[in-house]
Structures are given as structure tokens and as C-alpha cells.
Amino acid sequence: MQVSNRFLALLRFQLAQFADRSDLSSLVVYVTQPGEANAPILVPIGQWPSDGRALPAVEAGSPLSLPAEERRWLPLRHQRVLLGAIQVETSVVPWPDSLGQRLQAVALCLTEALCLDLEQQQLQQTLEQQQAELSLLLHQLRNPLAALRTFGQLLLRRLEQDQQNRPLVEGLLAEERQLNRYVDALSQLGRHEQAAVSGEAAPPLLLPPGLVGPEGQPLLDWLQPLVQRAAATASLQGRPWHPPSCLPNWHGDSGAVAEILANLLNNAFRYSPSGTAIGLDCQALASGDWQLTVWDGGEPIAENERQAIFEQGFRGRQGQGRPGTGLGLALARDLARSLGGELNLVLPPAAVAQQLPERGNAFCLRLPAAVPSPAAGP
């Protein structure tokens, strides 16, 4: 069994507390290692007093493994597994009660520390194996993505004059680029420096670092593929789609805004009844803020679920029996607040704008005013 430097530091501290015991001759702490025929070998990892002697390992049947009047062994045992042992040599027999109690406390402390050390090593090995498997899968995933990009570009050339089908291929290429962004973000997981351990709770992770920023990106560039995807989904499902009459002239962390809207649109297409209309409405408010609303004309969300749906893991009545994790709305609201905005449910959609339906659900994303930029196209 290999032990960590943190365990060795704890071991030195535990042994040093016996400096006041003149009735002790020596203490040696061993951990078990597998030997021949599965017979454990005790390997020394610490001693008191520390005189620099090289101590031998103790095998089964060795004279050192046998108790004697001046030598005793305290096992470091977890359930039925022998993790190690403490060899105690003393000049006073029998032990005083105070010495026996202190040695038992040290044995218990070192046993628990060895268990934690072993668990940490096993978790680290599992994490490294999973990281290696993930890296391999991501490497292989790039191959079909590259093939999709190649086929899409070739198809786009053939449809150069076909204005009806060309946007579909452009949409496929946009989705391929988005998939590559996710693959790049996954490949960077675990490579960013972790904050030092402190008493304060770490801020919640909203998006992997690879999907955040940079700041100042025009939102228009991110929304156009989403609108195109929504139109294609509505056409495939045979339901009305109402695109925005204008797109917001907003700059900032547009990647995060796109993640919010993508979650809202996916929920609308997944949970609203077939045949009901879905739309995206964009309004510039008098304050300079922007309000982006994803709405549907389906059954209103039950009153007792209207706040709970923003909690992580909650699945409403309409989501029962359907695929999903209950994380989308919670992530969307947290992202909105991290941008200085807010995400709320408004019923009915007509409460947002008169031209929207009198029945259904509307999720309103409010974004704080951005730095002015050239006007966005329709």
C-alpha cells in the first residue's frame, strides 16, 4: 500500500506526542503489502524515535512478528482487512492505563487516515481512467464531425443556386460548429486551475470554461442559427413557428445567452402539445434593456409548479415519462442572473405583448442594456 505525503505528515505528528513517555523504547508503524502466496508483508513507514535506522520488513513467521514481554502489536484493521500495525516496545510491563489509552487512540486515528488515503487513491485512479476514456471518445468523435462538415460543404456547393434548400445545409454546418464547441469544452475539462480550498463555498459552475465568453460578442451572430434550427424543428413537427420580427442589438457574453435560449426553445418543442404554436419575441425596452421571450400556445404550466420548475432536478407533470434531467431551466436562470439579467415565467404570453396568444406559457429573459452597436437586421 502506497501512502500519501499528507498521511506521512499526520503520522509524524502522532508519533511525536510520545516524546514525554520515558517508559517507551520505540514505536514503529507498518503498512501491509502483498507477499508471496497472498501472505501480507509489513513494511515500515515511520518510527519513533527517529534515529535514521533502516528497519526491515516483517514477514509472516518472522520472530519480530511474534509478541514478547517487551514487544506488542496493535493492528490497524478496517473490518476484516489488515491495513497495517504498530509495533510497541516498552520497558514497563504491564502498560499503564494512560499509555494504553493513548496508543489505542493513535491506532484508531491512523486506521481511519489509512482508509481515507486508500479511498482517495482509488478515486484518483478511477478519475484518471475515466479521463483517458473521455479523451479517447472525444478524439474519435471529431472524425465523424469532420466528415459531416466535409459532406455539408460539398452539398452546399451543389445547392449554390437552390435558395430553398441551401439554408437547411447552412443550418447543418452551423450545428456542426456548435457540436465542435462542445467537444472542445469537454476536452478542456479538468485542465483549468482549481481554486485553493477555503472555508467559502465555491461559486456554482454554470458553463464549462470553454463555452464562456469572450465578452462583447454580437448576439445576432448567435441567434440566427437558433432561429434557423427552430424553424426546421417546427417544420419537421408540423407546427406553426413565429420568428422574431427583429433580433436584438446586444453585445456581451452572447454564448451564454444562446445557451439560455437554446434550453428554452428545446423545452418548448419537447413539452408543448403537438400542433401548438411556438415563437421567439424580441423587444427593446425603454430602459435600454432587451427582453427575449420564448413562448408556446400549449397548456399553461400548473400553478403549483411555476416556481419549482426553476429548481435543479424538478420535473413537472408535463415532463413525466419524457427524457430530460430537470436541469435546463435552473441553468438558464442562473446564467441569466450571472449576466445581470433575469428569467421569469409569464402567463399568458399576451401579458408580454398583445400580438402573442391568450393561452400558453412565456419565458422572458431580460438582458441589461449593452453598448450601442450598428443596428441588427430583421
Q: What angle do CA 201, 204, 210 make, to 5 degrees?
A: 130
Beta-bridge mates of residue 74: 86
Q: Identify whether residues 371 and 239 lie together within a single domain.
A: yes
Does 327 or 370 have the greater pLDDT score? 327
Task: Report the range of poorest mean pLDDT among 66-75, 101-110, 138-147, 322-331.
Answer: 322-331
Q: Report the b/e string of 151-164 with b at 16+ CB within 10 A.
A: ebeeebeebeeeee
In the predicted model, what is the mean pLDDT of the chain?
83
Does 132 or 117 have the greater pLDDT score? 117
In a domain, 182, yes or no: no
CB 236 within 8 Å of CB 366: no
pLDDT (0 to 100) of residue 328:
82
State the residue range of the domain holding 34.
5-124
Over residues 346-357, the pLDDT tens digits come to 999 999 999 999
Residue 213 phi, psi (nearest 5): 70, -165
**What is the spatial distance between Cα 332 and Cα 343, in angstroms, rounded to a whole number?**
7
In a domain, 140, yes or no: no
Q: Identify whether residues 217 and 108 lie together within a single domain.
A: no
Q: Identify whether residues 118 and 242 lie together within a single domain.
A: no
In a domain, 100, yes or no: yes
Over residues 296-326, the pLDDT tens digits come to 999 999 999 999 999 887 766 666 655 556 6
In a domain, 130, yes or no: no
Q: Identify whether residues 238 and 371 lie together within a single domain.
A: yes
* pTM metric for this prediction: 0.60
**Rg for the chain (alpha carbons), in Å?**
32
Task: Domain count for the chain, please give it.
Answer: 2
pLDDT (0 to 100) of residue 187:
79
DSSP assignment of 163-179: TTTHHHHHHHHHHHHHH
What residues have CB less than 8 Å from 286, skipping those under 6 apart? none
Average pLDDT over residues 239-264: 90
Strand locations in 228-277 (E): 241-242, 251-252
In a domain, 200, yes or no: no
Domain boundary among 107, 124, 141: 124
Using alpha carbons, select from 375, 372, 368 the residue that is nearest to residue 253: 368
pLDDT (0 to 100) of residue 320:
61
Over residues 209-238, the pLDDT tens digits come to 445 555 677 888 888 888 988 888 898 899
pLDDT over 70, % of the chain: 85
In a domain, 359, yes or no: yes
Domain boundary among 95, 124, 153: 124
Residue 374 pLDDT grade (very low, low, confident, very high; cuts 50, 70, 90) = very low
Residue 201 pLDDT grade (very low, low, confident, very high; cuts 50, 70, 90) = very low
Average pLDDT over residues 49-61: 79
The CATH number for 285's domain is 3.30.565.10
CB 251 within 8 Å of CB 290: no
Q: Identify whether residues 113 and 250 lie together within a single domain.
A: no
Domain boundary among 58, 92, 124: 124
The CATH number for 33's domain is 3.30.450.40
CB 99 within 8 Å of CB 24: yes
In a domain, 234, yes or no: yes
Q: Identify whether residues 233 and 375 lie together within a single domain.
A: yes
Assess whether pLDDT exceeds 80 at residue 38: no
In a domain, 270, yes or no: yes
**What is the spatial distance between Cα 207 and Cα 57, in angstroms, rounded to a whole number?**
51
Does 31 or 232 have the greater pLDDT score? 31
